[in-house]
A and B are shown apart, each in its own frame.
Chain A
Amino acid sequence: SAHKGRQSNRSKPQRTVQDALKAVEAATDNLGISREGCKKHELYVSFRDLGWQDWIIAPEGYAAYYCEGECAFPLNSYMNATNHAIVQTLVHFINPDTVPKPCCAPTQLHGISVLYFDDSSNVILKKYRNMVVRACGCH
């Protein structure tokens, strides 16, 4: 059970916003609008669009991806849920007021390398960690 204190100090206006969100949520659930489960979506970062191809030699851009989707009961196997996320999902399912659904976020990130000129036309090849989503999951 979540700490009761949370309920008491929640101000009235906050309540109505929460209620409105819940109403929308219930409505979409009832209409059977199936929200997509947590998964990876495409997102391309273009150095060309930033106008940087005069000093960035390679790459022209890279596929960064992003994570989006619902972490709702029942969590499917492809949602890479942590044990904690599974429990949190159940508690949310039983009583949505106590805790929110878990978050859909990257579970694996990969790096990229960028080759570019510095001001004195020396060339730098640098590896950058955690730039590309490899997998998403419920946290």
Chain B
Amino acid sequence: NFSVDNEVRSSFIQRRLRSQERREMQREILSILGLPHRPRPHVHTKQNAAPMFMLDLYNTISTYPEPPGYSYYKPVLPTQVSPMVTPQDSRFLDDADMVMSFVNLVDQEQDLLYQQHRREFRFDLSRIPEGETVTAAEFRIYKDFIQERCENETFRVSVYQVLQEPPNSEVELLLLDQRDVRAAEEGWLVFDLTDTSNLWLVNPEQNLGLHLVLEDSNGQGWNPQLAGLVTGSGPQDKQPFMVAFFKANEVRFRSIR
């Protein structure tokens, strides 16, 4: 029964897709995902702070029961420092139909050169799909525990939106949010960016980034790193990032192919 066996086996071999068929299938699924082509991200960024936070968010969504025999939905548990998803984030997530995280575009070396008590951050919001409205947005920066200072010493962290950068004078800033932190505190500091993000979305040319300023209880400027704030040159899994929650403001139909 050699020939019969062969026939039986061949009918159970998963049909080999020709490369053109495979590309067509991938394009069809990408069109469901709303993507023009498959993204080519830089490798090894999965352990960075933003992907870890987004994975936390993803794992809070798991609402549908796992069907018998499939382990398709395993909450991919984040490893070491993973930014906590606050209850507020979960509420933002319920109302949103898309969440995007954005990495800081200002280069890491800037830390070493820049003025001591000020840091600059920039985010590229240009890839946000048309027809989305920001329902909430946050700027997140990690605060490490610092040993050297006495426990109760407090610092004031202020986040400003850059309004103008005139070539020959001081930048014009708008205070967005402030947070008093103790030297002994550790974890993610969250600053609200909702209004600023919507402004940047509508007027991209006004997206001149953020400035972060650190002062001690006497109003004296401080180097953020000496107060435990992790900026550009710190570990990847504690890098500052921005996250925005979106809601589509129109029903989008799939383009006919």
Chain A positions near chain B (C-beta within 8 angstroms): 42, 44-45, 50, 52, 54-55, 57-63, 65, 110, 112-128, 131-132
Contact = CB atoms under 8 A, between A and B. Distances in A.
B101 to A, nearest CB: 5
A117 B45 contact: yes
A50 B46 CA distance: 19
Given A124-B99, A125-B54, A125-B98, A119 B41 contact: yes
A59 B59 CA distance: 10
15 contacts: A44-B70, A50-B26, A55-B40, A57-B46, A115-B58, A118-B127, A121-B42, A122-B103, A123-B100, A125-B61, A125-B98, A125-B99, A126-B34, A127-B61, A128-B32
B58 A128 contact: no
B67 A120 contact: no
Contact of B41 (A55, A110, A115): A55
B72 A44 contact: yes
Mostly, the B contact residues are: loop
Q: Which of the four size classes fits the interface of chain B?
A: 35 or more
Interface in B143-157: none
Nearest to B76: A58
Interface of B: 25-26, 29, 32-34, 38-43, 45-46, 50-51, 54-55, 57-58, 61, 64, 67, 69-70, 72-74, 76, 93, 96-103, 124, 127
Contacts, number: 102
A122 B58 contact: no
A125 B58 contact: yes
Contact of A117 (B34, B39, B64, B74): B39
A124 B51 CA distance: 9
A121 B41 contact: yes
A118 to B, nearest CB: 5
Nearest to A132: B64
B55 A58 contact: yes
8 interchain residue pairs of minimum CB distance? A117-B41, A125-B99, A123-B54, A115-B58, A121-B41, A123-B101, A55-B39, A126-B98
B100 A55 contact: no
Contacts of B74: 60
A121 B103 contact: yes
Contacts of B61: 113, 125, 127
A120 B40 CA distance: 8
Given A113-B61, A119-B39, A62 B73 contact: yes
Given A119-B41, A126-B33, 4 more contacts: A57-B46, A57-B76, A125-B93, A125-B100
A60 B58 contact: no
A127 B98 contact: yes
